[in-house]
Structure 1
């Protein structure tokens, strides 16, 4: 057999053994451990009169060697130079002890017969090579957190009962299922790159007749009906983990699985009880109710901590000063929906799983359409997982100590893969201030001069004739009291605070994220005109300690029903049929 490749399981195994130093002092066979060393030498067939007495020779050797107890102390003392390296497992400790107490078992080919379990994690392994076939007694193989993209079943010991490949890059099961270990009971494929329907066909009893536990969490399976039709052939399957897949975001996901796999005991680390089975009874016979879409409800509550804008706006009297109005809204990002029911069109931007720079403004079209173009700039990331997203804006509200947004919007996401990426990345929530300047509308100068001239002539005629009639006086008075018209400039928008809200827990069994986004205490603008001494005295004693800017944000993933036992005796399938 040739030398193992640098990124193979065998290479990682031998490299780890060198770190353990099983052949170094105080382990292994050497002059320091003479009894063990001599046990492997052929006994001398002494004859009477030839050489010393063998019993006395053995006694002399025993007086000149370290005892196993002393050697074990050298291994167990953490201050000893021969203490285990950091990050070693109980299995490594067992090998060290075996090298002292029974060194012949870890010498040569005997070493491979010792292993019942082999754990190689986080070593950058890319290849499962033929070297594993030397472990003829191996029952458990754990290769988590490596870089394995393909695994050939011909290189796996036939004695395997547990195979764990979590956190790798496996995207195809064909090579693994060519000649899989027949006694395998647990297969861990969580956090890989599997997706259906091409991989569904390899998850049947034809390849895994004794499978009891299957972990497919955090892959990209989307076809719930197709996957369940394959898994139903695994008659011994009792434990199934599918959380983190896009199909797990479907509202009827859990109920359909519970009713379709009657022998399942644990689903997504939650026990399946008889009450839950009764609750979901009949759902598997109505596949038309299983729609490949998810429903999400976003709610925005109160905004607190916005400084009173009247304290820093310019207060001047006269027609030249504008009327300034302030209003406030909250923006949040949500994954791009396939169709827009209200018919409005918006720009779409790419949102990445990376830190985002706070925006300095919101697109002016947000007020009319309820949506705005995202203006965040994603930071660099090694493995960007982008999804199309839009920014939604709550209705603007005037300033108050507590601004009640009372916003609730239900989103329907048909791109389940995009929704999974969105939840993994989180959403950006911002508080935006909208400032509008309104100016008095002045009449045209020429028209104003003509009007004034006619009015003057009319007054002169009236004065020549006599006193001005009372009706005409009232009419002139009403014209003077006519309210002034204003024209408004385009709104000036300013982002007061931006925060990322983590939503990753919704990819597991959680269905609600409710948080209060704390943006800190805002530093307000300085007033354009310093207050007078009288104003200072009037405000003295009324100033309050600053309050941090906060907003209530809530995102709920509708999993129906929300919990087992919440419905009456009427079956879930019947109720779902009524609500569809």
Structure 2
């Protein structure tokens, strides 16, 4: 098994990449007389033939057009070591190079271990090891001169090794985007370990205990900058206000300056523990739905026709984290539990008026997603077709599973537009009556023909009763809405989901077995007749039977199709908005009692 890749090994590779022993650096034929002959401290000394002066060699490093120049994005350490290798290359031999390094940046080099070789850097003040694979850091391997330690985007899940013995007196500790989860980590964030800490980055971990963390951070006398966004605890409504009121010396929280007005606004919140709840309140709003193809051409048939009456309704579905606490079981939206990891069409099995939980039998598409999460699907009430359907949907979700909610926001939500089609048949068109009628006709009972005609005429004059088939649902459009900005400093995501332009299908043709439900197996429903009529009109020779729509197409006056869009909004409620909402709910509950 290969040994873990260490910081020391990455540093040696870094030195080789700089080429400190190659022209124009190091010692060679281009400057050998300066180091093997009589040495002089004056750079203006005459240069032997075939060699280069230190000034000329430095110019090769600094001229942006030189093939030996460093790229503009190189670090100050790169330039320092290259220039030292020109002026005094002997300083880079042995352990001398470690005495020159005060800031070391090793980013995305696959480092797994912070080894004791770091102790050779006796002047090191800044160590940045972000975007590696470090899971543990021992304080025994850190130089005592260190003031800045940056370990963002690693796999650190425990601070015990870092605090096993007193760590260096850091001024900044960066642990963002790691795997810290509480409440066992809070005890390592006190003044006993970090008496000089000014800035602390714990963003985008899995910390959940806000009161416990604040009680430890309040012991840090010099803490002025704090980053906690991206943690589950940051999703609670009182998150920012509680921190601002609890840490009076804090000046910047989540990259936002704390002004005196804000501190005054949240004054006293830390002394109201009943408001500090480990839950998130999220409001989802769905507005106008546009761009639906008009099904009017084949939506209904005449009363008494052999074919079905077809009605259409439309609704919007979206996912929300499974950990949501359902407060209102009588809400009109349908709910479905499933494991989501992809953007896939949703075959919704619950209507806008159905609250039963059903399972999703669709297989997910093979696409890469940020993270698998469990979710429930909610739906707006179904509405008939219109050019613009105003869903006017608003629902507040209360979620106590903050870790699950964070995973849901990282993955985003799936928004879909669903069409529900219902076929309704006349009650007198059932199979038994058809069988009886066919039997009578087969026996040649002509005397009943007059009665049948009278019955049919009577049915045409009076409204018929209908029986409806199970609804047929189809997904017209599906898209993913990114929500990760709600984990940062944003409280609102408002977007218009664009599903593209839909091409309406041709009117449905009822199969022969469906026609048998009518009063004559050779009769065809009106929808099929209209379909054939439209096909016939399409094949009409040029100049004959042109209708108005065809004329408009030829003249280029047809309106451009409108894409299918829906307004979607998700808001993370913060104090005092969440508190006012909650008080209204409590008041309504009191009045109901």
Q: TM-score, normalised by structure 2?
A: 0.82
- 1:143-158 equivalences under 5 Å are 143-158=129-144
Q: Give the deviation of 1:400 after TM superposition.
A: 0.6
Deviation readout 1:537-570 (Å, 9 max, x if unpaired): 24344842111111110111101236xxxxxxxx
Q: Give the deviation of 1:70 after TM superposition.
A: 1.9
- Residue 532 of structure 2 aligns to a residue whose secondary structure is coil
Between structure 1 and structure 2, the one with the greater Rg is 1
1:529 aligned residue: 532
Structure 1 unaligned residues grouped into runs of 5+: 44-54, 450-455, 461-475, 563-571
Match status 1:284 vs 2:270: yes
Q: Give the deviation of 1:65 after TM superposition.
A: 2.2
Q: Give the deviation of 1:362 after TM superposition.
A: 1.7
Match status 1:424 vs 2:413: no
CA contact (8 A) 1:237 1:264 kept: yes
CA contact (8 A) 2:301 2:309 kept: no
Distance change in 2, residues 1:117/1:180 (3 Å):
farther
- 1:387-536 equivalences under 5 Å are 387-442=373-428, 445=433, 481-527=461-507, 528-531=531-534, 532=537
- Residue 422 of structure 2 aligns to a residue whose secondary structure is strand
Q: Give the deviation of 1:42 after TM superposition.
A: 8.7
1:469 aligned residue: none
- Residue 318 of structure 2 aligns to a residue whose secondary structure is strand
Q: Give the deviation of 1:447 after TM superposition.
A: 8.8
- Residue 560 of structure 1 aligns to a residue whose secondary structure is coil
Equivalent-residue separation in structure 1 for 2:348 and 2:579 (angstroms): 44
Distance change in 2, residues 1:299/1:276 (3 Å):
same
- 1:280-359 equivalences under 5 Å are 280-311=266-297, 319-343=305-329, 347-352=336-341, 355-359=342-346
Q: Give the deviation of 1:33 after TM superposition.
A: 1.4
Equivalent-residue separation in structure 2 for 1:311 and 1:35 (angstroms): 96
Q: Give the deviation of 1:86 after TM superposition.
A: 8.9
Equivalent-residue separation in structure 1 for 2:272 and 2:493 (angstroms): 31
CA contact (8 A) 1:289 1:576 kept: no
2:22 aligned residue: 24
Match status 1:557 vs 2:555: no
CA contact (8 A) 2:322 2:374 kept: yes
- Residue 418 of structure 1 aligns to a residue whose secondary structure is helix
Match status 1:137 vs 2:117: no
Equivalent-residue separation in structure 2 for 1:237 and 1:257 (angstroms): 12
2:145 aligned residue: 159
Distance change in 2, residues 1:224/1:59 (3 Å):
closer
CA contact (8 A) 2:335 2:356 kept: no
- 1:52-91 equivalences under 5 Å are 62-77=48-63, 80-84=66-70, 88-91=74-77
Distance change in 2, residues 1:309/1:25 (3 Å):
same
Match status 1:11 vs 2:9: yes
What count of residue pairs does the alignment treat as equivalent?
Answer: 533
CA contact (8 A) 2:335 2:377 kept: no
- Residue 118 of structure 1 aligns to a residue whose secondary structure is strand
- Residue 255 of structure 1 aligns to a residue whose secondary structure is helix
Equivalent-residue separation in structure 2 for 1:579 and 1:339 (angstroms): 15
CA contact (8 A) 1:160 1:184 kept: yes
Q: Give the deviation of 1:577 after TM superposition.
A: 7.9
Q: Give the deviation of 1:322 after TM superposition.
A: 1.1
Deviation readout 1:127-151 (Å, 9 max, x if unpaired): 0001100000000000000000000
CA contact (8 A) 1:300 1:552 kept: yes
Q: Give the deviation of 1:435 after TM superposition.
A: 1.0
Structure 2 unaligned residues grouped into runs of 5+: 439-446, 508-530, 587-593
1:119 aligned residue: 105
- Residue 525 of structure 1 aligns to a residue whose secondary structure is coil
Distance change in 2, residues 1:384/1:427 (3 Å):
closer
Deviation readout 1:376-409 (Å, 9 max, x if unpaired): 615365x963322011111111001111111111
Equivalent-residue separation in structure 2 for 1:553 and 1:488 (angstroms): 32
CA contact (8 A) 1:370 1:395 kept: no
Equivalent-residue separation in structure 1 for 2:464 and 2:582 (angstroms): 59
Bigger shift: 229-238 or 535-544? 535-544
Equivalent-residue separation in structure 2 for 1:435 and 1:574 (angstroms): 41
2:354 aligned residue: 368
Cα RMSD between the aligned structures? 3.5
1:184 aligned residue: 170
